[in-house]
Amino acid sequence: MRGIRERIEAYLELSGVSEIARRYFVMNAFDGVLTMLGIIIGAYLAGNVDRTFVLGAGISASIAIAVSGFSGSYVTEQAERTREMKKLESALLISLNGTRHEGAKRFAILFVSLIGGLSPALGAVIVVSPFFFDLVVAPEMAVFASVALALLTLFILGIYLGHISEEKLILHGVKMLGVGVVTIIICTAALQLL
């Protein structure tokens, strides 16, 4: 077990993938939260907050956004890492097949892809989670709880970004919260035009 941990640490350092993974995590979790927020607002305004409907749409959207996040991250990171490897091989005038560099490349691609796929699904599941408790929570209350969870999750993601940038945490949280509020307003306005 210790050997695996040491190898992962070495690959993280060699590939420099941690920073990229952080970006994918925040961007894709943000997408998952806003996607699910849109689904719940749409269901509420359409008058169909039935647990089965919301969970069906929510779980399907979570799966779709996870597949999209994983595959999009995979092909993008694979292209970038292959390009970097070719440049390094050209500079060194040797093949890096079978080396730690190749292992770090494969690790980075998989690691970023998993973050890219799991983070939007996690964000979406957090938002839709009140609908799992329909025996305790009325559908309308689940809607409000979901919206509150979405806004709280966005606020926390903003605080995390503030921490990364070493700037005002609350300001970043409020910015992300603002995006959630604007999303609710736009969704509401758009659906009222139907």
Domain ranges of the chain: 2-192
Measured distance CA(69)–CA(28) in Å, rounded: 7
Residue 2 has pLDDT above 80, yes or no: no
With residue 130 as reference, give the H or E element that holds it. Answer: none
pLDDT at 129: 94
Give CA torsion, residues 110, 111, 113, 114, to 10 deg: 110
Measured distance CA(150)–CA(123) in Å, rounded: 8
pLDDT at 13: 82
pLDDT at 186: 95
Give the pLDDT confidence of 114-139 residue by residue, as tens digits: 999 999 999 999 999 999 887 777 88
Residue 194 has pLDDT above 80, yes or no: no
Residue 173 contacts residue 156 (beta carbons within 8 Å):
yes
With residue 3 as reference, give the H or E element that holds it. Answer: helix 2-15
Give the pLDDT confidence of 4-47 residue by residue, as tens digits: 888 878 877 888 888 888 888 999 999 999 999 999 999 999 99
